[in-house]
Structure 1
């Protein structure tokens, strides 16, 4: 099963992609905004626990951010 999610917030700079799932990481654009920097770290660990994967497609700098989840089917 796969999901694709997008938001209408500022795009994700290329240099932030490597750290975006680090706990408490807040990119320059995220500073001053509400949030703790835990959201994608939680997603990454939860998806990995069930054998799934996730990615942030490239080429979206300056556009809204987009993420994809791939989850295994229930057994």
Structure 2
């Protein structure tokens, strides 16, 4: 179980670290297309470490993880 949790945290952290390709605005707009309300402030707080991944809402981390997994090959093309 710990291996899965670490995988999720690593994927989400990579997404958060990739501000050049995934701005808060871009992530928010992509979620809006799916009907998911998502705040750029949430992303900014995670990026600036005001909120840690461990302290974020479960739903937030799951959404970011799914976003990262569906977009991970986008910039490799």
Q: Which has the higher contact order (CA 8 A, sep 6+)?
A: 1
- Considering the TM-score relative to the shorter chain, is it more than 0.5? no
Larger Rg, first or second structure (1 or 2)? 1
TM score, norm. by length of structure 1: 0.29
Choose between structure 1 and 2: higher helix proportion.
2
